[in-house]
């Protein structure tokens, strides 16, 4: 069964018990006629098209003679006949340049060229269900009356600089003999059509993750755009903090302020916003965001705008809700900033990725030892079989960033955690200290304080650039930032 018919049948089944759509031939003739002609302009190739073509060449070179299948994925049901917003699989986006406007159920196929170590790329997608079809008014999944106009094959071919075919042709294209590698998990219906898939595991996803570890010029520009939009979102949050303090669920005021900016300046948020006030900041992935925002507490805001190309930022700032840090809050904040700066200082091509985390942990171990929190010295705690300082920072310091907030997840450990840092990599540096409200191993004055500082880092030829460095980072800068935003 093709993806096209699956989507059509699913959409019909979800509403069959309440459908009132007329089925008479008179109605069909009436609704399909009397419309003005609509011209569709032929676009120039988008900026991402040339970069996507280069990426296809690189993955092609790794798998000569093998058919490569990269599905965009389909719609995912949220509740009965309502779906989550569609977001294409990142490997599909990487190889096509098709971002937030990508069509569900599309599939990129790289067909090996006989007698050459190259592939011919074809993008299969469902053409528009226009006014000459019954789907136009009767299919809420793809019909123009329901979801608006969808692009023609000719438009997409010009836009992406790709050969394009209708999705109805995909089944026969996949039926031909030969070795096939497919990115799994994106579209089970596509995997079911293939007789023999990935004899050695999902090496295609692995290889694409490892290619994506190094960003090209277009990717870096898109991540920077996401960072800049995120900075504006942080300004919005600060402006709304007084409103948040007046609401029982003020964290949701914060979340909503950032989400508004993400939708205005991008596609969406790149991940669920963490708007953690007070002791909630000690929960690393606090996304319930249902707590109060109180004067005197801190607001840990971990958020990122995803732009229309689907590249995202991932930034954390910890804000004093009153506008000023207390002495204890500042002491912890300065220790976290020191750890972040120590990690950033060593970033350059040629180091091992895990060394970034190690540099931050040296500071965390030293400071927690100085404060009398460790039962051993910092040196002993840093030994692999100890790590007692990690009680207050159990997460890692860095992860790669790009089309996914935790990017390149299928890369092998030797390429990622144990891998050599290379020019063009983009990753986070995000140390923190989190003293749970009921942690009896620390003084009462520390309990319930959680602080993280996170920036997005680009590796250059001889060092690194902090892409988010324009967002205030030091305690004094943060206090001035809050005063300036509130004075606008």
Per-residue pLDDT tens over the stretch 279-293 = 999 999 999 999 999
Q: Dihedrals φ, ψ of 84, to 5°?
A: -70, 155
More confident call, 142 vs 362: 362
Average pLDDT, the chain: 94
User: Is residue 258 scored above 90 in pLDDT?
Assistant: yes
For residue 223, with 0-12 CB atoms within 10 Å meaning exposed, 13-18 middle and 19 or more buried, which class applies? buried
Alpha-carbon distance of 408 to 399, in angstroms, equals 9
- The model's pTM: 0.95
Which domains, ranges and CATH numbers included, belong to the chain? Answer: 39-201 (3.40.350.10), 217-486 (3.90.230.10)
Q: Which residue has the higher pLDDT, 1 or 444?
A: 444
Q: Does pLDDT of 471 surpass 60?
A: yes
Q: DSSP readout, 99-130?
A: -TTPPTT-EEEEEEPTTSS-EEEEEEEPPPB-
Spell out the residues 6+ positions from residue 9 whose beta carbon is closer than 8 angstroms to its own.
none
Beta-carbon contacts of residue 217 (< 8 Å; ≥ 6 apart): 51
Name residue 328's beta-bridge partners.
none
Residue 447 is encoded by which pair of tokens? 């309990």
Q: Is the dihedral of CA 370, 373, 378, 380 positive or negative?
A: positive
Q: Confidence class of residue 198 from pLDDT cuts 50, 70 and 90?
A: confident
> Could you count the other beta carbons within 10 Å of the beta carbon of residue 112?
19
Contact yes or no for 411/205 (Cβ under 8 A): no
How far is the CA of 366 from the CAs of 89, 142, 220, in angstroms? 42, 59, 35
Question: Band of the pLDDT at 40, cuts 50, 70, 90?
Answer: confident
User: Could you tell me the strand order of the sheet in which 464-466 lies?
Assistant: 426-429, 455-459, 464-466
Neighbours of 248 (CB within 10 A): 10
Residue 1 predicted with pLDDT over 50: no
Q: pLDDT tens across 394-437, in order? A: 999 999 999 999 999 999 999 999 999 999 999 999 999 999 99
> Residue 177 and residue 195: Cα distance in Å, rounded?
9
Instruction: Say yes or no to pLDDT of 51 above 60.
Output: yes
Torsion of CA 457, 414, 310, 111, to 10 degrees: 140
Give the span between the Cα atoms of 395 and 430, in whole angstroms. 9
Local confidence band at 4 (pLDDT 50, 70, 90 cut-offs): very low
pLDDT tens column, 106-117: 999 999 998 888
- Confidence at 81, pLDDT banded by 50, 70, 90: confident
User: What are the start-end ranges of the E strands in 22-88?
Assistant: 67-71, 77-79, 82-83
Residue 8 has pLDDT above 80, yes or no: no
Among the ranges given (107-121, 126-140, 236-250, 296-310), the one the predictor scored with the smallest mean pLDDT: 126-140
Distance CA 293, CA 277 (A): 6
101-104 contact pairs (CB < 8 A, 24+): 101/151, 101/308, 102/72, 103/72, 103/150, 103/151, 103/156, 104/7, 104/72, 104/73, 104/74, 104/75
Q: Give the residue, 19 or 310, on which the prediction is more confident.
A: 310
pLDDT, mean of residues 306-323: 98
Tell me the torsion sign for CA atoms 392, 397, 402, 404.
negative
- Where on the phi/psi map is residue 460: left (φ > 0), alpha (ψ -120 to 50), or beta? beta
pLDDT at 13 over 70: no
Q: Which structure tokens are listed for 300?
A: 């840990």
> Among residues of the chain, what percentage have pLDDT more than 70?
96
Closest CA to 147 of 158, 139, 159, 157: 139
Q: Return d(Cα 188, Cα 84) in angstroms, integer.
A: 18
The CA-atom distances, in angstroms, between 102 and each of 151, 161, 269, 307 are 10, 14, 17, 14
Rg over alpha carbons for the chain, rounded to the nearest Å, is: 26
Q: For residue 85, which of 395, 306, 324 has the smallest C-alpha distance?
A: 306
| Residue 195: per-residue pLDDT | 64
Dump pLDDT digits (tens) for 142-186.
899 999 999 999 999 999 999 999 999 999 999 888 889 999 989
Query: How many Å apart are CA 384 and CA 205, to the nearest integer?
Result: 32
Query: Exposed, middle or buried, 33 (CB in 10 Å: 0-12/13-18/19+)?
Result: exposed
Whether 363 shows a pLDDT value over 70: the answer reads yes
Least confident span in 3-7, 156-160, 252-256? 3-7
Q: Over 60: is that where the pLDDT of 372 sits?
A: yes
């Amino acid at each position: 069964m093709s993806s096209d018919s699956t989507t059509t049948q699913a959409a019909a089944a979800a509403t069959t018990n309440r459908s009132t759509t007329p089925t008479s031939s008179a109605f069909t003739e009436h609704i399909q006629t009397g419309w003005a002609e609509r011209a569709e302009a032929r676009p120039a190739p988008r900026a991402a098209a040339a970069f996507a073509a280069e990426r296809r060449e690189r993955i092609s070179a790794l798998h000569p003679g093998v058919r490569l299948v990269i599905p965009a994925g389909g719609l995912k049901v949220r509740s009965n006949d309502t779906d989550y917003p569609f977001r294409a699989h990142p490997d599909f986006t990487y190889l096509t340049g098709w971002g937030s406007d990508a069509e569900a159920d599309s599939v990129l196929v790289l067909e090996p060229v006989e007698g050459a170590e190259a592939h011919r790329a074809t993008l299969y997608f469902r053409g528009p269900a226009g006014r000459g079809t019954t789907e136009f008014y009767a299919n809420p999944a793809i019909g123009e009356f329901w979801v608006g106009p969808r692009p023609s094959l000719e438009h997409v071919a010009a836009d992406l600089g790709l050969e394009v075919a209708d999705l109805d042709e995909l089944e026969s294209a996949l039926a031909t003999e030969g070795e096939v590698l497919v990115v799994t998990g994106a579209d089970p219906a596509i995997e079911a059509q293939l007789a023999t898939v990935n004899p050695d595991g999902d090496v295609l996803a692995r290889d694409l993750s490892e290619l994506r570890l190094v960003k090209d010029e277009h990717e870096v520009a898109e991540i920077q755009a996401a960072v800049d939009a995120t900075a504006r979102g942080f300004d919005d949050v600060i402006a709304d903090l007084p409103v948040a303090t007046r609401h029982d669920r003020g964290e949701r005021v914060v979340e909503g302020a950032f989400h508004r900016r993400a939708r205005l300046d991008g596609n969406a948020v790149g991940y669920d916003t963490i708007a953690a006030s007070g002791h909630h900041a000690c929960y690393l992935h606090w996304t319930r965001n249902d707590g109060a925002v109180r004067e005197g507490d801190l607001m840990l805001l971990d958020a990122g705008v995803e732009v229309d190309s689907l590249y995202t930022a991932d930034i954390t700032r910890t804000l004093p809700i009153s506008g000023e840090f207390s002495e204890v809050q500042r002491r912890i904040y300065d220790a976290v900033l020191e750890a972040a700066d120590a990690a950033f200082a060593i970033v350059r091509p040629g180091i091992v990725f895990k060394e970034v985390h190690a540099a931050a942990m040296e500071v965390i171990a030293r400071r927690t030892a100085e404060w009398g929190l460790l039962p051993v010295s910092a040196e002993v705690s840093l030994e692999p079989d100890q790590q007692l300082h990690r009680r207050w920072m159990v997460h890692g310091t860095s992860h790669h960033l790009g089309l996914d907030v935790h990017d390149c997840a299928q890369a092998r450990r030797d390429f990622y955690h144990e891998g050599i840092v290379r020019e063009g990599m983009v990753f986070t540096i995000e140390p923190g200290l989190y003293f749970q409200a009921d942690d009896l191993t620390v003084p009462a004055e520390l309990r319930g304080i959680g602080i993280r500082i996170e920036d997005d880092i680009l590796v250059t030829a001889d060092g690194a650039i902090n892409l988010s460095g324009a967002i205030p980072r030091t305690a004094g800068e943060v206090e001035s930032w809050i005063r300036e935003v509130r004075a606008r």
